[in-house]
Amino acid sequence: MAIKRKVCLTGPSRLTVAEELLRAAGCDLVLGKPADNFPDFHYERKELVSLIGNCEIVFPVGRDFISGDVLDSCPDVQAVVKSSIGIETVDVDAATDLGILCCNSPTPENYMGVAEATVGLMVALFKRLKLNEAYMRASGWKEAQNRGTLMLGQTAGIIGLGRIGQNVAKRLGPWGMKILGYDPYVGQETAAPLGVKMISLEELLKHSDVVTLHVVLTRETRGLIGMRELKMMKPSAFLINTSRGPAIKEADLVQALNEKIIAGAALDVFDEEPLPINSPLRQVDPHRLILTPHIIGTNPGSLEAGQRMAAASILAILDGKIPDTVVNPLAIARWRERFWAWQAT
């Protein structure tokens, strides 16, 4: 079986580092067409299938969803590789059934950047930075009712104790905050060295002064926080989401903020991205809701590191090797059977 080393960057491509590395390794790149309206640009299904053609690797660049139907229509595809941590734009279950590997790129620059940003959002909320900055720009000065809250002794609840959640905990511990955690896949033995006490989601919501989400998007986490959960929180508590927008029911959060069910929130991710101009989130009191455009944890180092990790994963797969970045290990046996059985003969 001949390996063509064809890689499709769905485009519009801005992955210049990855392109250089793949070309230098002898890969034949198929680049998506440029678009003036990136990131709103999306391919029609037929266009995407035609673009991928007989490529062996799909490297999604935009927000196009790589569906099982698309993958099934492109029988040469061995893997879908992303240069970010999130891989929700790929039908991983369908890929697994087809024996197609799915890889992400969890670089330290990426997950530490998000952890730093999360702590920054906590500070902004507790210290009421947006309110006081706006008050001063309107010729005001300090007022007793605008004072912030001391974070020392407050309780932070971390939902999702993966790489990002663990690094948030590492940064909060020295500040003298109590840290609670909820993650059905992480035990107390992992959390204890971080100073985190693992409890149920309900107990975490009831006792936390700030709740921060660090989850991947799955059937379990979609809509994880709705009105029922928001009403469990303290009226003085804050909610932060730097993970995936659909983990929170946006309409419920808007209502909770408008009715002062919780004190405030900060969002860097949304159900629909870019956030629509007419989104009700934009109408919430800006002193109580911080909105950032899915960028707060991003830095030049994270972008380049993600491209390098993705390129390394691609080259490993094209050589018949399994990179550490595979998120669907159940696909490996079928992948070997479909694409690499000839090696054993």
Q: Catalytic site residues? A: 244, 273, 294
Q: At what angle do helices 300-318 and 16-24 cross, to 10 degrees?
A: 30
Q: How many residues belong to the chain?
A: 345
Distance CA 8, CA 284 (A): 41
Name the H helices within 138-249.
163-172, 188-191, 201-207, 227-232
How far apart, in Å, are the Cα atoms of 211 and each of 37, 123, 183? Answer: 35, 13, 13
The b/e string for 226-247 (b: 16+ C-beta within 10 A; e otherwise) is eeebbebbbeebbbbbbbbbbb
R_g (Cα) of the chain, nearest Å: 22
Give the Cβ contact number of residue 186 at 10 Å.
17
Name the H helices within the chain.
16-24, 45-52, 68-72, 92-98, 108-126, 129-137, 163-172, 188-191, 201-207, 227-232, 250-258, 300-318, 332-335
3-state class (DSSP) for residue 322? coil
How far apart, in Å, are the Cα atoms of 49 and each of 35, 59, 75, 93, 339? Answer: 18, 13, 10, 19, 20
Distance CA 339, CA 97 (A): 14
